């Protein structure tokens, strides 16, 4: 199979998540016709992904059934403080943004960034329903963020950076928009070893949170090389997203990483 270019990957991923937004799915499972490329394990088709990743108290606080497409809960470990400015990369329907907004309070601010217009529309509709006035959603790509430099205290992301064909650019942009001493807290999918070439070249597996996953050591090294310090793996577990049609031995996992920009 010919090697996929970055724009081809982005186009496919954008179209897939646009379809999810239109259907307002409550899980990260795409339509059944493409179940083989699902980013959910079979059991998640019966159990809400949000209920697996978030506490009952967190979901009750939102009081809305919002689509969850993540593989972790970065808000729970980001140690957000009242008054902070938070940026959520790949904000989807806005669930993590709304949870973060409650933690930073009315003096704080949360920006959700997503490259899919349909997701932005969905998130804004959800924000209106919840009367969330300290949250805004912007259309844009992680590799070229429409965010001012040195303007946010914390960057969070939930199972999205793996979707980027240029992760070095993403980490550089995170570093740029963070204030000195600012923090990142990201949940993502990583591997322990190389994925088979047929998986790497599958657009379905790119959209399914798998093909773009890096080896954990490579992933962490890219964060360090960008200039971040104090890197800590806060948690690693079997993947919530990503075992469908993956050959045995691929060894993919969900990971949560914390680090900070030097002061």
Give 246's DSSP letter.
P
- The C-alpha torsion from 127 through 85 and 163 to 115, rounded to 10°, is 50
**17 vs 149, residue with greater confidence:** 149
Q: How many C-beta neighbours within 10 Å does residue 246 have?
A: 19
Supply the pLDDT for residue 221. 97
Domain spanning 6-23+53-260, CATH class: alpha beta
Which residue's entry shows tokens 């470990």? 77
Supply the pLDDT for residue 203. 87
The burial class, CB within 10 Å (0-12 / 13-18 / 19+), for 58 is: middle
Average pLDDT of the segment spanning 59-64: 81
Average pLDDT of the segment spanning 164-180: 97
**Which of 14, 7, 8 has the alpha carbon at shortest distance from 139?**
14
Interacting residues of 94 by C-beta distance below 8 A, sequence separation 6+? 66, 112, 122, 123, 126, 127, 135, 137
Q: What are phi and psi of 208, to 5 degrees?
A: -90, 15
**180 vs 33, residue with greater confidence:** 180
Give me the residues paired with residue 157 across strands: 89, 186
Task: Give pLDDT tens digits for 74-87.
Answer: 999 999 999 999 99
Specify the range with the lowest mean pLDDT, choosing from 132-136, 160-164, 198-202: 198-202
What residue segments make up the domains of the chain, in order of their start? 6-23+53-260
CA pair distance 4, 67, nearest whole angstrom: 29
Asked if residue 185 lies in contact with residue 258, where contact means CB atoms within 8 angstroms, the answer is yes
Asked if residue 93 lies in contact with residue 122, where contact means CB atoms within 8 angstroms, the answer is yes
Specify the range with the lowest mean pLDDT, choosing from 31-40, 169-178, 205-214, 241-250: 31-40
CA pair distance 128, 130, nearest whole angstrom: 5
Supply the pLDDT for residue 262. 98
Supply the pLDDT for residue 148. 98
- The C-alpha torsion from 77 through 80 and 86 to 87, rounded to 10°, is 0
With 90 as the cut, is the pLDDT of residue 24 above it?
no
Helix (H) or strand (E) holding 168: helix 167-177
CA pair distance 201, 5, nearest whole angstrom: 10
**242 vs 15, residue with greater confidence:** 15
Q: What are phi and psi of 136, to 5 degrees?
A: -135, 155
Average pLDDT of the segment spanning 209-229: 94
């Amino acid at each position: 199979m010919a090697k996929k270019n970055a724009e081809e990957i982005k186009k496919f991923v954008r179209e897939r998540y646009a379809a999810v937004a239109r259907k307002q799915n409550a899980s990260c499972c795409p339509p059944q016709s493409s179940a083989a490329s699902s980013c959910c394990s079979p059991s998640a088709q019966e159990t809400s992904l949000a209920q697996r990743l978030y506490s009952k108290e967190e979901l009750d606080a939102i009081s809305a059934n919002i689509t969850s497409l993540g593989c972790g809960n970065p808000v729970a470990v980001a140690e957000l403080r009242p008054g902070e400015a938070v940026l959520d990369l790949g904000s989807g329907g806005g669930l993590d943004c709304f949870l973060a907004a409650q933690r930073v309070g009315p003096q704080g601010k949360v920006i959700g960034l997503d490259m899919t217009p349909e997701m932005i529309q969905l998130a804004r509709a959800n924000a209106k329903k919840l009367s969330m006035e300290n949250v805004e959603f912007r259309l844009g790509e992680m590799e070229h963020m429409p965010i001012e430099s040195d303007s946010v205290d914390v960057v969070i992301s939930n199972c999205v950076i793996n979707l980027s064909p240029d992760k070095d650019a993403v980490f550089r942009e995170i570093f740029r928009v963070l204030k000195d001493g600012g923090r990142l807290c990201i949940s993502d999918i990583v591997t322990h070893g190389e994925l088979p070439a047929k998986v790497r070249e599958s657009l379905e597996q790119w959209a399914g949170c798998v093909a773009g996953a890096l080896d954990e050591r490579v992933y962490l090294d890219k964060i360090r090389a960008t200039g971040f310090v104090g890197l800590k793996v806060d948690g690693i577990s079997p993947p919530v997203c990503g075992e469908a049609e993956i050959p045995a031995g691929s060894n993919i996992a969900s990971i949560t990483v914390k680090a900070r920009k030097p002061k």
